Amino acid sequence: MSRVDLNVDLNGLKLKNPITVASGTFGFGREFEDYLDLNNLGGIMVKGLTLKERKGNPVPRVAETPMGMLNSVGLQNPGVEYFIKNELPFLKRYDTKVIANINGNTIEEYCEIAHILSSTSVDSLELNISCPNVKEGGVSFGRDPEMVYKVTKKVREYADKHLIVKLSPNVTDIKDVAEAAEKAGSDCISLINTLIGMAIDIDRETTILARGMGGLSGPAIKPVAVRMVYEVFNTVSIPVIGMGGIMDYKDSIEFLLAGASAIAIGTGNLINPGVAAEILKGIENHLESKGYKALEEIRGKVKIPSK
C-alpha cells in the first residue's frame, strides 16, 4: 500500500501511478522484464506502430551527444497486426496500461491504425504527429495547428479509445498546437518528442547519422520540455504527460510542478533499464517528506518568484 496517493486520472485513462515509459525507448517491454517488474509502471507507451512493417532508416542511426543522443531510427517496427497478435498478449499479462503509439504517412493511415486498435485490449492510443525521422507524415503533421486539428479530429472519429496527441517541440508556439489538439477532441496531451539536431564528424566531414539529421533526446532537452509542459498546462484543460530528459525522480518532480499529471521516461531507460522503478520510489519519498498526501497536490504548483 502506497503511503501517498499516486493515482492519476488522465481524463478517463486511470493509472495507478504517474510513471510511464516513452515510445521507442522500451520496445514492447520484453527486454526490460529482467530489470524491473513491469507491474510497477503506470503505463507503457509501446514502440511506434505503422500499418505495415517498417525496416527503419540506414545506419548509423544513433549518436551520442553532450548530455543526450541523436536518433533517426525511422519507426522500425513489425506493423500493427504483428503487434496485436504477438506483443499485446505479453503486455496484457501485466497490471499496467498499454498505450499504443500510432504513426501514418497520411491521415487515412492514422485512421486505419486507430480503427484496427480500437477493437483490441490496448488502453489508449498515442497519436505521434511529431516524429522527425520519417519522410512523410510525422512532424509535418505536428507543425501546423490547422493540420493537428484536422488529423486529430479525423482520428477521433475512428478511435473508440482514450486518445493522447503527442506534440513536437519543433514548432514556433507550442500553445497553439496544444489548443488545436484539445479542440479536435484529444483526451490528453503528451510532450515533448525529440528536437531536430545534427552532429558532424570533422575528420570524415560527413554527418554522423546516415540520414543527416535526427531527434535529440536526453538531459540536454529537459529545460525546453519543462518550459513547454508549463506553457501547455497553462493553456489547455486536458491533462498533460511530460517527458524529455527525465533521468531521476528530481527531474520527474520538476515536470509535475510544471503541470504534468504523469511523466514518461525515454532515453533514461537506455542508460539504466531499471530506472523507472527507482523513480517511482523517489517520487513517493519526496512527496512524503514534503507532507503531501496525494500526487495531485503538487501538479502545476511551481511559483515564479517575480510574478
Any idea which residues carry the catalytic annotation? 131
Stretch binding ligand FMN (CB under 6 A), from 155-163, 181-189, 265-273, 277-285? 265-273
By beta-carbon proximity to ligand FMN, the closer residue of 145 and 215 is 215
Strand ranges, E, within the chain: 8-9, 14-15, 19-21, 43-45, 62-65, 68-71, 97-102, 124-128, 162-166, 188-191, 195-198, 200-201, 206-207, 213-217, 240-243, 262-265
176 neighbors 228 (Cβ within 8 angstroms): no
Q: How many residues sit close enough to ligand FMN to count as binding (CB under 6 A)?
A: 26
By beta-carbon proximity to ligand FMN, the closer residue of 17 and 194 is 194
Asked if 186 is part of the footprint of ligand FMN (rule: CB under 6 A), the reply reads no
Closest CA to 109 of 141, 144, 86: 141
Stretch binding ligand FMN (CB under 6 A), from 33-41, 149-157, 177-185, 214-222? 214-222
From 6, 38, 44, 73, residue interacting with ligand FMN (rule: CB under 6 A): 73
Alpha-carbon distance 89 to 92, whole Å?
5
> Which residues partner with 8 through β-bridges?
15
Binding mask 97-136 for ligand FMN (x = CB under 6 A): ----x--------------------------x--x-----
Stretch binding ligand FMN (CB under 6 A), from 3-11, 215-223, 228-236, 273-281? 215-223
3-class DSSP state for residue 20? Answer: strand
Stretch binding ligand FMN (CB under 6 A), from 21-29, 86-94, 205-213, 281-289? 21-29
Binding mask 140-179 for ligand FMN (x = CB under 6 A): --------------------------x-------------
From 50, 186, 194, 261, residue interacting with ligand FMN (rule: CB under 6 A): 194
Alpha-carbon distance 129 to 107, whole Å?
10
Q: Which three cell numbers stand for residue 111?
A: 485512421
What number of other Cβ atoms are within 10 A of residue 231's Cβ?
17
Angle at 14 between CA 142 and CA 88, to 5 degrees: 70
Asked if 193 is part of the footprint of ligand FMN (rule: CB under 6 A), the reply reads yes
By beta-carbon proximity to ligand FMN, the closer residue of 101 and 186 is 101
83 neighbors 100 (Cβ within 8 angstroms): yes
What number of other Cβ atoms are within 10 A of residue 156's Cβ?
18
- Residues lying near ligand FMN in the complex (CB under 6 A) are found at 22-25, 47-48, 71, 73, 75, 101, 128, 131, 166, 193-194, 217-218, 221, 243-246, 265-268
